[in-house]
Structure 1
Amino acid sequence: MIKYYEIGKEREENDITGDKKKGILMGILIGCVVTAGLFGIWSKVKDFEFGKKETEYEHVIMGWDYLADKKFVSEKSAESGYNTVAPLWYKIEGSKSDIDGVRLKITSDSEYVNLAHKNGYKVWAMLSDGFSPTRSRLIFENEDKMNSIIDTIVEDVDAKGIDGVNVDFEGDGRKNREGFTRFVSILSQKLKESGKVISVDVTGYDSYSLSSYYDRAELSKMCDYIILMGYDEHWSGSKVAGSVSSIGWVKGNIESTLEEVPPEKLVLGIPFYTRTWRVVEGQGVEVTNAFVNVRKAPSTDGEKLASVKKGTFYKLLGSVDGEEIAGSSKWYSINYNGSEAYVHSKYVSALDYGNEGRASSKAHAIRIQNNMLKEKNMQVALDEASGQNIAVYENGDGSLTKIWLEDETAIKKRMEIVKELGLAGVSAWRLGYEDESTWKHVVEGLYGEK
């Protein structure tokens, strides 16, 4: 005897024909499917309600993985905040004068690729020329070597299931312009035959020697994406302090790039680092000799506190007479680490740095920046000129520490530009520089707070 239910009543049957059995089995099957479907829908609803639903980002959100560390693809893409990684796996190195000594170093990792795919990431292997335009020119001028390198890359990409290649060559102007464009053209054609993606990193327009290297219009025709490296407005060689990526500067470079590259192919590169600036304002002293000894008294008999190299600068306190050297008894009094010290006028110049000041800097990751803010209890205010927050701290030697902050304000302002101009996405230099909230600011800047 089989008991079953109809809507609103219960019924028993002693004799069930084969057709009825089929009907019941079909009913059970449909019921299971419906139940499973409803359960799946309910699961998705629950995931949505609790923020666990996997996100499919509309934009490319990439991190350059200079260390090629699997930890950066070990969690789900929806949890990390980015969907694409560019590990440095291909590097051209070797001789800068002999083409036979030029080689391609490959460090690609199948386990990395498999883990990345499992967790929802695309992998664009980064190809670097090692910042050597001279070596690159050797390749561009030798068809056999160029094709050999390209073929080796494409074979490796295919063999390991890598999704594409990110080309990062930073050259020296028009000398390499045509050669680089041809190199990318051949690489692009062979990658696309395998259904792979190619992107190329380009600079902004500030420096002709760097900027003119890239034929952006031609590159955009053959590449899936052009990545504008929107940073290093102020860099290690800058003598005036400033942001590595002020908002107006970034937008101006994007708008210039859009004259050559369509927005749906343009990705904005953003810094996950800043620079900590030491700034001397007003009267200062700068070392002009190869080196000079800083002494506790204006005499060679005075205790030597340090030997400092050319370009080092200090706050000027005044001038005094001291031991005569090379026909001059003039010594300058400076603030050295919070104490008065002396340098002879023969080896330095006294300068008025004005309100702009004379600066030197060190690069720091965002996570280090944030630690410094807490430790030093720095004053933070909005700098209207850069569109960023700036932190200022007075040092013991009379100089100032200034940091243009890479924080929620700066990141979200750049994401507003990405949305406003309809760009393809964003890429950050680099993975490992962020703190626990940095990628959250990127995603919220693009899509709003969840």
Structure 2
Amino acid sequence: MKHKVIPVVVIVVLILVLGGGYAGKYLYDKYSYSNEQADTKSYFGIEDENDVPIILQNEKSDLHARLIDGVYYMTFSDVQNILNDRFYYGQEEGILVYTTPSAIITVGVDSTTTSSTDGSSEDLGYKAAVYDNDTLYVAIDYVKKYTNFNYTAYTDPNHITMYTQFDQEIRAVIKKNTKLRLRGGVKSEILVGLEKGDTVVLLEKLEDWSKVVSPDGYIGYVENKFLENIQTVDLLAPSDYAEPEYTSVHLDGKVNLVWHSIGGKAGNDTLSSAISNTSGLNVISPTWFSLSDNEGSIESFATQGYVDTAHANGMQVWAALDNFNNSNFHNGEGSTAKVLASSTSRKRLIDSLMSEVRTYGIDGINVDLEFTGSSLEDITADGGEDYIEFIRELSIACRAEGTILSVDIPVPMGNSFFHRKELGVVCDYVIIMAYDEHYEGSAEAGSVASISYVENGIKNTLEDVPADKLVNGIPFYTRIWFTSTDGTVKSQAGGMSWANSYISSNGIDMNWDQETCQYYGTYTQADGTVVEIWLEDAESIQTKLNVMDVNGCAGVAAWQLGYETSDIWPVIEAYVNK
């Protein structure tokens, strides 16, 4: 009997040993740390040996730099979108341009030497801009000369860590050698080793693992037991960069500007009579300068007598530049796009303007380049880059002369190519033309400037432009609308007295419309044509001024002198002096 028991015991022991081995292997397989290495090139999404992915603000991004001849480059579009949109590329001339408050710095594609309008030059030791596969790239180190960011480049594999914002981040110290893993869990692939004393950025803390950024820019997971000294730290901006100071010239108090459409040199003689019934005006803007050819020449109606008369009446002269009053340019072969796209044409235009300023003692330039009309058919959103570069370059000249620079732009409505934020930096005043809500050619009749249109225009512009630079433009004109029985819509525009005469002669009953904050009237002609009027008068202007006051606008600008009735001026003067 004893001999029979021994084999049974042996079998049981073998079963236990084998079971324990399997259990041990199971436990080992489950809880032991994997030594499998992740494919880091695939992790970063590296496409070729010169491709350099960018980790931006501790996040993997779609941005990629390029390593060309040992220099790191980013695409021009990425430079503008991510780092500094003040860089401008003159495609026709193959030049990269950067403007400071006082100088224009230029470097050609494939060139290592910059030149500046202040007479200086610099040998960079590398090409500032190059083309690679028809894509324009800009050296990151060149961008860094004018931009507040930092970056660190790594090899094996290629990648860059970059910071463009400097707020706070949470950091932790690794207290024992360990591994950074692709995902949370001991079986996840290893990205990189972490050594005792390494500092990591803590992005997210989970129950057992934390998402962190390694010192060399890998984003992965580490066990919480390996983290210590967790603290929030302030990020320091690069000490080798100083933000440029864009100084501005402002009037004492609010701007009270009116545009004076003179139509030619003879129109200058109308100034005294035109302002005889006004009060409180401190700026007049005569329509003096118009583009006259594609080389940047201008037609000028400036006279010394006009300036002297304005000054004698306590008004500054901010001469207007436009692209629609010279018929040969506007209706001929003139192209604002061609003028603004050429550095030579921009310089000729600016030099001509500043020569007029010095000759006549003009106090300011008011730029009204409108992106509509036959001469501007080739202007697209891309043309906005040429436009804002012109304004930057003009601002340098105005700043040097102490000349006030203002620009006229429409309210924000899908036209971001005007670069309002940049205008708010480089210009002294930004004037929004808060009218032509319904204009000649509109498909439907409506107000020229309803109160919601004005209010939304101001508030949306204030998202980009400081209130102490924002001047709101108001209309002194009314548009009378005629809708025929077949649905055809036409209109006529004129001044306040003209509109009042039409209302009176046709016996139109006018009632206050709370939605537009204007008097509204309508009647039907004998042929069935429906006539509608949204009237601009002292009361409608007052509601606009109230909105401007609430939003802290820097003043008011009115189009145009001679269209107003005399009761308008006390209303505007009260706002300006408030």
TM-score range, shorter chain: 0.5 to 0.7
Q: Which one-letter code corresponds to 1:255 in the other structure?
A: K
- 1:421 counterpart residue number: 551
Contact 2:278–2:569 under 8 Å retained in 1: no
Matched, 1:155 2:366: no
SS at match of 2:353: helix
- 1:394 counterpart residue number: 524
Task: Report which structure shows greater RCO (CA 8 Å, sep ≥6).
Answer: 1
Matched, 1:258 2:462: yes
- 2:63 counterpart residue number: none
Match of 1:146 among 346, 352, 364: 346
How many angstroms apart in 2 are the aligned matches of 1:401 and 1:446? 35
CA 1:198/1:78 → structure 2, altered by over 3 Å: closer, same or farther? Answer: farther
Matched, 1:412 2:524: no
Q: Percent identity?
A: 33
Shift of 1:120: 0.4
SS at match of 2:297: strand
Shift of 1:75: 8.1
How many angstroms apart in 2 are the aligned matches of 1:143 and 1:57? 35
- 1:72 counterpart residue number: 271
Aligned pairs for 1:288-299 within 5 A: none
Q: Which one-letter code corresponds to 2:442 in the other structure?
A: S
Deviation readout 1:235-263 (Å, 9 max, x if unpaired): 11112111000001110011000000001
How many angstroms apart in 1 are the aligned matches of 2:274 and 2:314? 9
CA 1:443/1:215 → structure 2, altered by over 3 Å: closer, same or farther? Answer: same
SS at match of 2:421: helix
How many angstroms apart in 2 are the aligned matches of 1:361 and 1:78? 29
Shift of 1:85: 0.5
- 2:255 counterpart residue number: 60
SS at match of 1:69: helix
Shift of 1:173: 4.1
Contact 2:478–2:494 under 8 Å retained in 1: yes
- 1:293 counterpart residue number: none
Contact 1:185–1:222 under 8 Å retained in 2: yes
- 1:165 counterpart residue number: 365
Match of 2:324 among 130, 136, 139: 130
Deviation readout 1:344-372 (Å, 9 max, x if unpaired): xxxxxxxxxxxxxxx32111211211111
Contact 1:89–1:126 under 8 Å retained in 2: yes
SS at match of 1:193: helix
Match of 1:285 among 486, 499, 502: 486
Uncovered stretches (5+) of structure 2, i.e. residues with no partner: 1-250, 372-378
Match of 2:427 among 223, 226, 233: 223
Aligned-residue Cα RMSD (Å) equals 2.3
How many angstroms apart in 1 are the aligned matches of 2:411 and 2:310? 31
How many angstroms apart in 1 are the aligned matches of 2:470 and 2:278? 25
Q: Which one-letter code corresponds to 2:502 in the other structure?
A: M
SS at match of 2:565: coil
Match of 1:379 among 493, 509, 513: 509
CA 1:400/1:57 → structure 2, altered by over 3 Å: closer, same or farther? Answer: farther
Match of 1:111 among 305, 312, 320: 305
Matched, 1:187 2:366: no
Shift of 1:77: 8.7
Deviation readout 1:120-160 (Å, 9 max, x if unpaired): 00000001122869712212222112111101111210121
SS at match of 1:428: strand
Contact 1:198–1:224 under 8 Å retained in 2: yes
TM-score normalised by the chain length of structure 2? 0.51
Deviation readout 1:298-317 (Å, 9 max, x if unpaired): xxxxxxxxxxxxxxx4xxxx
SS at match of 1:213: helix
SS at match of 2:564: coil
Q: Which one-letter code corresponds to 1:202 in the other structure?
A: I
More helix by percentage: 1
TM-score normalised by the chain length of structure 1? 0.65
How many angstroms apart in 2 are the aligned matches of 1:362 and 1:127? 26
How many angstroms apart in 2 are the aligned matches of 1:157 and 1:445? 30
- 1:239 counterpart residue number: 443
CA 1:121/1:247 → structure 2, altered by over 3 Å: closer, same or farther? Answer: same
Uncovered stretches (5+) of structure 1, i.e. residues with no partner: 1-55, 287-312, 314-358
CA 1:198/1:368 → structure 2, altered by over 3 Å: closer, same or farther? Answer: same
How many angstroms apart in 2 are the aligned matches of 1:154 and 1:106? 12
Shift of 1:79: 4.9
Q: Which one-letter code corresponds to 1:189 in the other structure?
A: I
CA 1:164/1:77 → structure 2, altered by over 3 Å: closer, same or farther? Answer: farther
Deviation readout 1:99-140 (Å, 9 max, x if unpaired): 45x531111111100111011000000011228697122122
Count of residues paired in the alignment: 311
SS at match of 2:302: coil
How many angstroms apart in 1 are the aligned matches of 2:364 and 2:576? 24
Deviation readout 1:81-109 (Å, 9 max, x if unpaired): 32110101111023xxxx45x53111111
Greater gyration radius: 2
Contact 1:415–1:442 under 8 Å retained in 2: yes
Q: Which one-letter code corresponds to 2:339 in the other structure?
A: I
How many angstroms apart in 2 are the aligned matches of 1:65 and 1:116? 12
